[in-house]
Amino acid sequence: MRIGVLAIQGDVREHRRHLEHLGAEAPEVRRVRDLDGLHGLVMPGGESTAIGLLMQEEGLLDALTARIRAGFPVYGTCAGLILLARDVEGPPPPRLGVLDITAARNAFGRQVASFEAPLDIPALGAAPVPAVFIRAPRIVRVGPGVTILARWQGEVVMVEQGALLATTFHPELTPDLRIHAYFLDKVRAARQAS
């Protein structure tokens, strides 16, 4: 399986390592041609306005939106989630807008307010998943077609909608592979469906 990792900003090598540990090839994506032959895409964190502007310049917003409408699986973390979100509170970046949620930017505060928390994610089994929140957004609205997969202190932190997966936290920063494995399962299901 070839899962691209958007390489404009973010923990690119960490995402790649997690995917490679799980047996996938994980090429870096910067240009539309880098989407060729991919079965899915991971969109890491970073600063969503800068990432969105560069994606727009590269033609990646149009190219990806078309593929997503045809069922292409994408997993967005943090800024990646913001770029997937239909609506954004805070300065709205150019984005894909395909995931029916509203994301509030930097909702937990400044860098010093970043934290780690063990999450109960029933879909991933009984053992809590360590989650790293870095200037994370909050999901403040969830549309009808979106499934909530995890909460932390009542806040929605993980959702899926069809072949799209999104978390406000960073699984690439802990040794736990379950979130990436869950995304690969979604990719396999999407391939079987097509």
Which residues are known catalytic residues? Answer: 78, 170, 172
Asked whether position 177 contacts other proteins by CB under 8 A, the answer is no
Give the shortest CB-81-to-other proteins separation in angstroms: 21
Q: Is 148 in contact with 93 (CB distance < 8 Å)?
A: no
- Pairs from 60-68 (Cβ < 8 Å, separation ≥ 24): 60/6, 60/29, 60/31, 60/32, 60/35, 61/94, 61/95, 61/96, 63/32, 63/35, 64/35, 64/96, 65/96, 65/97, 65/98, 67/35, 68/96, 68/98, 68/163, 68/164
Asked whether position 22 contacts other proteins by CB under 8 A, the answer is no
Give the shortest CB-87-to-other proteins separation in angstroms: 27
Asked whether position 63 contacts other proteins by CB under 8 A, the answer is no
Residues shown for the chain: 194
Asked whether position 26 contacts other proteins by CB under 8 A, the answer is no
Residue from 30, 138, 141, 188 binding other proteins (CB under 8 A)? 30
Give the shortest CB-47-to-other proteins separation in angstroms: 11
Show the tokens assigned to 176. 């736990």
Cβ-based nearer residue to other proteins, 30 or 86: 30
**Residues 35-54 within binding reach of other proteins (CB under 8 A):** 54
Interface with other proteins (CB under 8 A), residue total 3
Asked whether position 8 contacts other proteins by CB under 8 A, the answer is yes
- Please give the Cα distance from 62 to 6 (Å, whole number): 15
What SS3 state is found at 129?
Answer: strand
Cβ-based nearer residue to other proteins, 60 or 107: 60
* Contacting positions for other proteins (CB under 8 A): 8, 30, 54
